[in-house]
Amino acid sequence: MAFGRAASIREEDHVVRYPDNRPVSRGRPNVLTTSQYTIFNFVPLNLLQQFRKQANLYFLIISIVMLIGEKTPLFVGTIKAWSTAGMLGMMMTVSGVVAALDDMARHKSDAETNSKDVKILDRNSSVTERRWDAVSVGDVLIVKNQEEIPADMVVLRCFSDDGACFVSTASLDGETHLKPKVAALKGVKPEDESELGRILDNIKFEIKKEAPQKSIYSFSGSLKLGDAEEQPLEMRNVLLRGSVLRNVEWCVGIVIYTGNETRIMMNSRKVPMKLPNLEVVINKAMWVAIAVQAVMALVVDLLFNFVEKKYFRSLWYLYPDGFVHPEGSLPDLLAYWVTFFVLFSNLMPVSLYATMEVCNKAYAYFIANDKVMGEGGAVARATNLCHELGQVSYIFSDKTGTLTKNIMELKDVYIGGKEHPTGHNGSQGEAPPSKATKDFWRCVTLCHTVVRGKDGSYEAESPDEDALVTAAKNKGYEFEGRTTEGDQSFFKVKTSEGVETFEIMAVNAFNSTRKKMSVVVKDRNGDYFLMVKGADNEMFSGAKADGEQEKQRRSVIDFSNKGFRTLVLGSRKIEQAKFTEWHGKYLKAQVALEGREESLNELAVEIEKDFTVLGVTAIEDKLQDDVGTTIEKLRNAGIKVWVLTGDKLETAKVIGFSTQVLTRSMEIVEEREGDFQEFDAKTKESQGGQSGKEYALLITGQALEKMMANEKKIEQFLAYAQVCKVVICCRVSPLQKAQMVELVRTRVKVSSVTGQPVTLAVGDGANDVPMIQAAQVGVGIYGREGRQAANASDFAIQQFKYLMPLLLVHGHWNYRRACIFTLFTFWRNSVQVLLMCYYTMSSGYSGTTLFEDKLRITFNGFCSIPILATGMFNCDYTRAILESKPDLYKFGREGRDLSPFLMFGSTVSALAHSLVILAVSYAAFPSMEFSGIGDYWSFGAMVFTILVIGVAYRVAFLTATWNAWSWITLAMSLGGYFCFLEVYGALKLTPTMYQVPRHILSAPVFWVCVLATLCLQLLVDVVIWLLFNCREDPVETPQGTGAESRQEDGPSE
């Protein structure tokens, strides 16, 4: 996405004053533009993109060379440039129309966003409406509940008693919980909306802001109200564009960033261009085709120059006055090579890209409308990757929210040396709670960032916190919300002993370095307490040593072995003098404009120590439906599954068994420190022929961090990982997830045409976006963590279980369909060029084409139509067979259908078919004269017509699934061609072709040739198919002619 161009940042742009510099208008700096084209740049930009495709550029160059041959004496140019340029233009037009339709949808979406209205508090303190794209820095906006924020703004006032509001940031960070925001100005809320215009009367302030940054979690600024001292502004005072106001009727804010300077746009990045494996193979095949074309031209060139040239140039009826070399021409050896190279240029299929784009659109439609993929369906954003789904070798999966539902429930706690299973209602018997139990649950109700809505519901920053606070409520420790009195904030907790109030003195937010969060509160007696919770390794290292710690550590391991997520809670009393000293530094760090986060983190580390561990929590994250079955099917398909998770190794291991990622028969190696001592031995052992053994690797983020700094360890890791059925990476960061995908994608070799594995990454959260974009195929799941992963993905699904139909069914079908039309397209053009090559030797090496130009130009058009139905609908197996026999997936995973062997077989087939057409044509007309007419136009038109009919037959031979579209496309191809012949022959556009088609079609001998050609072609195809497909298992032969294949095929019907 991109906005309109933003002005460069000047020093004064770091300051926003009210009301001194409230702008009247600054144009439309807040314009959202996700579209690629405008009406003015569509043609040049689209042409630039299309000519990046090698085949299009090739045919443009060939057209220029043809034009040079027409207009200059450099070489003999027998093919008109317009014939190739016209076909290229037609195919590029198809691609251009597809691109235009896609971009029109983006334009429509942009217009809907830019035309939204927002209320503005104008110069006259009256409320007016303005379009989003007219919002500027310094504008005061009024946003109502459930409305989206149009630009980054500091919230000034809220319609709430405590000056707080809440926002949903799912579109920014993928998190579905609400985040609290605090108004920067204190004051009494207006009674109703009629007072909104006067809400900032007689108020002057100045805001200093940092330069535009990418971080959506931090902001450094300050607000100076009149002559008062500056007060700090943090991210809790800022509403970001894209977030949605919730749980408050309205708020007022002043815009500080617009356009490209907003956080959401600073974080937006271009979706990486992913070149499909199939296109890589096609590009290589096209270079091979060019090489073959050059060799064919060279062979014919040498035959002419060294064998036939002297003879032909001595013929008096060709050169009555003797041959005279044209002035300014190239040497014969080079000139005739160029002539023949241009003559054979159609060996490169100009229509392949257009055919592929049309078929890809159909594949995306079928995926989106497959009812098996869930009620909400699936989304295919990257249509060019639909056939990549059938070639995946590695799957990289997140755990939480992907393999599990991200629905948390507190199942057990460890307090005072005992486990206390909670159950859903938290019942723990009637015994009165001990002091340790009270301290534990009090810590749970205080150490969090949960907010309570008006309806009593909780909004938490993570599902874990929601589960903990809800469980505490069920235990009789109810968090009743936060209140504000002046500059002071309070927690209210209701227990069986009454309502307790705690003043919030400081909140140390969680970060991935400390892996803890904490609060400092003051109770009604004036005592200060630290309440802290976090990951076990960090918590135990900062805790006060006591005799219980060993038991607590063991409880963490026990809970992890049951597949639970664990947190350790602790607290300590802080002496007033120490607190006062620490709190002074804390308040100073809060107002710092530079290094604020670092300073606050250092202060958190300083206070979060010497606490007493109160207990351990065990939270269950429920598994997604049919995860085990899906993983088992994927593994049986030969796909290796890697799980990349932030959980500790023990938890990941248990989840691995419950999801069937791991099996009891596997030999599991655990690597925690990064020594890799077992790797070499295990790699050699696996390569030593112990066939029945399967290996799995569990490795921590710490070990991976050490590995990435050592090339030898990377090689050791990859060597062992490749022999493992499963790799589980634990405690990994988003960056490490992307590194693992990139490592496998670029450095692992597999047995396929390209040698590189196709990697697929699947996740549901914002932290999964880097690995989704690093993989060749990114799949997002619409989960509880928001839609950011789904929005950044190539394909989006509802649940993990839908990977099975997406890959094993749609992926298999799409890959084999794409390979059929790719091989067919090369085959089709090869037959045509071979016929032209044969004729060259019969035409005195003059470079004359066998087919008249206007007739020849129709070849790619009419002969591309029938393969469309096969390319879209062909199903070699039913859905039921593909799901029950996942090993059939090997065709795509191993790249069998575009292997060099099958490509060679297709070339042999093209050679055989061209010889059949040549033999029949020359047998019927040995002198190349049609029924005594004696002109090569009639002979060429006859051969071309037999070729077109033979191409239609070839499509029928390749088609396994017949439906209405199969017959329609065949009828469109043959019917369209014969209609063209009738019209073209009746017009006098080319005198030499006048009435030629009618004369041909009315001759019985022509139809005899057609019948003979078809019979011989069928015989050739059966023999070649037996030779090149005999290696397939009998069970893997196509399922009839389509009746069976169409059963349960969903949208492919």
* pLDDT tens-place string over residues 69-126: 888 888 888 888 888 888 888 888 888 887 788 778 778 877 887 888 999 987 777 8
**Cα distance from N-terminal residue to C-terminal residue, the chain:** 36
Chain centre to alpha carbon of residue 107: 21
CA distances from 925 to 312, 335, 454, 860, 949 (A): 23, 32, 92, 26, 19
Which range among 118-122, 272-276, 438-442, 915-919 shows the weakest confidence by mean pLDDT? 272-276
pLDDT score at 111: 83
Contact call for residues 965 and 359 (beta carbons, < 8 A): no
For position 1051, what pLDDT does the model report? 44
Q: Give the pair of three-digit tokens for residue 570.
A: 């602790």
b/e sequence 856-869, b meaning 16+ C-beta within 10 Å: bbbbbbbbbbbbbb
Q: Summarize pLDDT for 349-373 with one digit per residue, the tens.
A: 878 888 888 899 999 999 999 989 8
For residue 922, count CB atoms less than 10 angstroms from its CB and return exposed for 0-12, middle for 13-18, buried for 19 or more: middle
Average pLDDT over residues 924-951: 79
Instruction: Tokens for 37, please give them.
Output: 């084209």
| pLDDT attached to residue 194 | 60
Distance of alpha carbon 588 from alpha carbon 597, whole angstroms: 12
Angle 192-196-202 (CA atoms, 0-180°, nearest 5)? 130
The tokens for 644 are 């990349």
pTM score of the predicted model: 0.74
DSSP per-residue string spanning 338-372: HHHHHHTGGGS-TTHHHHHHHHHHHHHHHHHT-GG
User: Which of 531, 94, 161, 78 lies closest to 339, judged by CA?
Assistant: 78
CA–CA dist 552, 562 (Å, integer)? 16
User: Which residues sit opposite 225 in a β-bridge?
Assistant: 205
Query: Do residues 445 and 472 touch, judged by C-beta distance below 8 A?
Result: yes
Q: Which of 398, 466, 768, 897 does the annotation list as catalytic?
A: 398
Lowest mean pLDDT across 241-250, 422-431, 610-619, 952-961: 422-431
CA distances from 501 to 88, 212, 465, 472, 575 (A): 77, 39, 20, 16, 20
Assess whether pLDDT exceeds 60 at residue 16: yes
DSSP letter at 933 equals -
pLDDT at 456: 80
Question: What is the C-alpha separation between 453 and 157, in angstroms, rounded?
Answer: 19
Closest CA to 489 of 459, 531, 446: 446
Task: Please confirm, yes or no, whether 398 is among the known catalytic residues.
Answer: yes
Q: Which two tokens stand for residue 146?
A: 């459930």
Which of the four pLDDT bands, split at 50, 70 and 90, describes residue 767? confident
CA atoms of 724 and 662, how far apart (whole Å):
11
Q: What is the DSSP string of 538-590?
A: HHHHHBPP-TTHHHHHHHHHHHHHTT-EEEEEEEEEE-HHHHHHHHHHHHHHH
User: For residue 615, how far is the Cα from the chain centroid?
Assistant: 42
**Cα 475 to the chain's mean position, in Å?**
44
Q: Burial code of 620-659, b = ≥16 C-beta within 10 A, e = fewer?
A: bbebbeebbebbbbbbebebbbbbbbbbbbbbbbbbbebb
Q: For residues 848 and 854, what is the distance between their CA atoms, to the nearest angstrom?
A: 14
User: Within 13 Å and on the Cβ side, how many CA atoms surround 907?
Assistant: 12
Mention every residue, 6+ apart, whose C-beta is less than 8 A from residue 552: 414, 540, 568, 613, 615, 616
Report the candidate in 458, 481, 459 with the shortest Cα–Cα distance to residue 161.
481
Per the model's pLDDT, the better-predicted residue between 82 and 528 turns out to be: 528
Convert the pLDDT of each residue in 259-280 to its tens digit. Answer: 878 887 776 655 566 778 888 8
Where b means 16+ CB within 10 Å and e means fewer, 328-341 reads eebeeeebbbbbbb
